[in-house]
Amino acid sequence: MSRAWRNFDWPLLAITLAMVTMGVIMVRSATINTPGLQDMVSRQITFALLGLALIFIAASVDYTLVGTAPILVYAILIGLLGLVEIVGLTQGGAQRWVEIGLAVQPSELAKILVVIVLARFLANRENAMQRISTYLGALLLLVVPLVLIYLQPDLGTTLSIAFAGAVMLLVAGLPLIYAALTGIAAAAVAPLVWLSMQDYMRNRILLFLNPTGNPDDFYNVNQALISIGNGGILGQGLFHGSQSQLHFLRVRHTDFIFSVIAEELGFVGAAVVLILFILLLLRLLRVADLARDSFGRLLVIGVASLIFFQAAVNIGMNLNLLPVTGKPLPLISYGGSSLLIFMLGIGLAESVAMRYRKLEF
pTM, rounded to two decimals: 0.92
Q: By the 8 A CB rule, do 301 and 40 touch?
A: no
Q: By the 8 A CB rule, do 300 and 286 touch?
A: no
Domain extent listing, the chain: 12-354
Angle 18-22-23 (CA atoms, 0-180°, nearest 5)? 115
Q: By the 8 A CB rule, do 104 and 97 touch?
A: yes
pLDDT digits (tens, 9 = 90+) for 76-135: 899 988 888 777 677 666 667 776 656 678 888 999 999 999 999 999 999 999 999 999
pLDDT digits (tens, 9 = 90+) for 153-206: 888 899 999 999 999 999 999 998 998 988 898 899 888 888 888 888 888 888
Taking residues 308-331, report their average pLDDT. 92
> CA torsion, points 227, 230, 233, 235, in degrees to nearest 10?
-70
Q: Is residue 361 very low, low, confident or very high in pLDDT (cuts 50, 70, 90)?
A: very low
Rounded Cα distance, 328 and 257, in Å: 8
Q: State the average pLDDT for the chain.
A: 90
DSSP code at position 331:
T
Q: Specify the pLDDT at position 195.
A: 87
User: In the chain, how long is the greatest CA-to-CA distance?
Assistant: 68
Q: By the 8 A CB rule, do 338 and 330 touch?
A: yes
Q: Specify the pLDDT at position 358.
A: 54
pLDDT digits (tens, 9 = 90+) for 39-49: 899 999 999 99
Taking residues 219-229, report their average pLDDT. 91
Specify the higher pLDDT residue, 336 or 57. 57
Rounded Cα distance, 357 and 26, in Å: 39
